[in-house]
Structure 1
Amino acid sequence: MVAGKFLGRTAVIVVAILAGYATAGGVSMITADSFSPGIFGLYTLLTLLYGAVYVAIGIGASAFMKSRKTAFAIAIGLYMLFLLFWDVFLVLLQFASVGQELPESGLPEWIQFVGLLNPATASGYAARALVPEFHALTLFPESDAFYLQNWVGLVVLALWVVIPLAVGYARFERMDLH
């Protein structure tokens, strides 16, 4: 049941993203001085994964709600958390751990990792891993820590798909037994 919901809802997102990106890609091929179909394709795949993350989160959250309306509200709330309030949370972590003044060495790596757990930030890291040109467009702290490397963004995104679906599946299984 969970897999079917995920595949069906993700298919809707995939169609919408591909329609928009096909249009943008077509216009870019005609009008841009340089256009790389390979880079565009990789970024499109990353966008599809990013969309699948929010579908998975919504399905996982809906497993715990009694109504669709509540599940929808929770999904919107989580989306807002990630896009609007995550940075506030990181600032509060900074204040609690190192104070208002940022050390010369920058944020502690553990706070940077907490930032990377946000799907939007993970998507940025993943874009830098897949599309080297994206590196020049983004400002993420540089670190030698393995858990702050760009490829970790792909792992975090994959976990954001797998974990909510697994939790949702387990919840639905328990509900079926009762």
Structure 2
Amino acid sequence: MWTALATHEFRRFRHARGTWLYIGLCAAYTVVWLLEPRSETESIDAIGSSVAVGSLQASLGVLVMLGGLVAGFGAIVGDRESGTMTVVAGMPHTRQDIVIGKLAGRAAVIGVGIAIAVGCAIAGELLLYSSVSFLQLLAVVAVTGWYALCWVAIGIAISTLARSSTEALVGTVGTALFALQWGSVSWIAYGWFGSTGSISGHYLFARRLAPREAYHVVTNWILGVGNGDDVFLPMLTQRETDVDVIGVFVVDASGSAPVYLSEWLSLLVLGLWAIVPLTVAILRVRTTDLA
């Protein structure tokens, strides 16, 4: 069963120094933010005390992405090179179980970092604002957990396609850089095929096809700061002041955006970013020599 493999993967990584470094980074960012001088009066009036959870959005968008890729990229090729995969493949479970087990176990490690960061945010909200919206918080946590699953699945897919750990590392670094620069890449592509003099719905749609931007759209929706793929503070500023701070992101804060720019579609995009890489990984593992 894949659950036994998932438990093994989680136990395997829970004592690793890299795991605790990652958890420490998630906690450190939250603590540093909580110690900053408080200047969000307008933000709190607009969305309530959830400003603390909202402020985690930008860091989680990057930390979860990097953590998921690092957790996933050595899952198959690393074990194959070390010889561990020979033992795993010889156990009484299917190759699909191997992929799902590694996905679940390694995503759980990222989940610990998310839980620490969110826990600090809850403490901050209770300490600073004496209230917290648990319904909103649970929704953000659920979406962030699925977002972590997306990146671990992408990392594992890279691991199954790579012929060596070096090749997997190069693919992982390239994927991370491409994802971080997706806004610039999509803008350049838009300039080639469209017009950079104005912003069209098609350009905004292209931006939302990336997992991090789709995550921003969905969490902005939950936080109630409008329909856009930027992080929530600029979104909130633009909504409250009607000033285009970044110059691109908000389509319509009232909910009347076209269907292809709806939050539901971004939720579907997030779903596909977990399902498609997982499917690729399973098909690859079924047809390749794991020894």
Normalised to the residue count of structure 2, the TM-score between the two structures is 0.54
Partner of 1:13: 110
Which one of 147, 150, 156 corresponds to residue 269 of structure 2? 156
How far, CA to CA, are the matches of 2:196 and 2:261 in structure 1?
23
Partner of 1:44: 141
Which one of 160, 181, 191 corresponds to residue 63 of structure 1? 160
Q: CA RMSD in A?
A: 2.2
Task: Give unmatched runs, 5+ long, in structure 2.
Answer: 1-97, 236-248
Residue 165 of structure 1, CA deviation: 0.6
8 Å contact from structure 1 (residues 122, 153) kept in 2: yes
The one-letter code matched in structure 2 to 1:5 is K
The one-letter code matched in structure 2 to 1:133 is G
Partner of 2:94: none
The one-letter code matched in structure 2 to 1:116 is R
* DSSP-derived class of the 1:81 partner: helix
Residue 177 of structure 1, CA deviation: 9.3
How far, CA to CA, are the matches of 1:112 and 1:77 in structure 2?
23
Q: Which has the higher contact order (CA 8 A, sep 6+)?
A: 1
Residue 73 of structure 1, CA deviation: 2.9
Normalised to the residue count of structure 1, the TM-score between the two structures is 0.86
- Aligned structure 1 segments of 4 or more residues deviating by more than 3 angstroms: none
Is 2:207 the partner of 1:111? no
The one-letter code matched in structure 1 to 2:208 is L
The one-letter code matched in structure 2 to 1:98 is G
Is 2:140 the partner of 1:140? no
Task: Give unmatched runs, 5+ long, in structure 1.
Answer: none
How far, CA to CA, are the matches of 1:17 and 1:147 in structure 2?
30
Partner of 1:78: 175
Residue 44 of structure 1, CA deviation: 1.7
How far, CA to CA, are the matches of 1:81 and 1:159 in structure 2?
18
Q: Which moved more, 1:137-146 or 1:14-23?
A: 137-146
How far, CA to CA, are the matches of 2:219 and 2:273 in structure 1?
16
Percent identical: 26
Residue 25 of structure 1, CA deviation: 1.0
Is 2:216 the partner of 1:94? no
Residue 134 of structure 1, CA deviation: 3.2
Partner of 2:284: 171
Residue 135 of structure 1, CA deviation: 2.2
How far, CA to CA, are the matches of 1:177 and 1:37 in structure 2?
45
Residue 67 of structure 1, CA deviation: 2.1
Is 2:137 the partner of 1:3? no
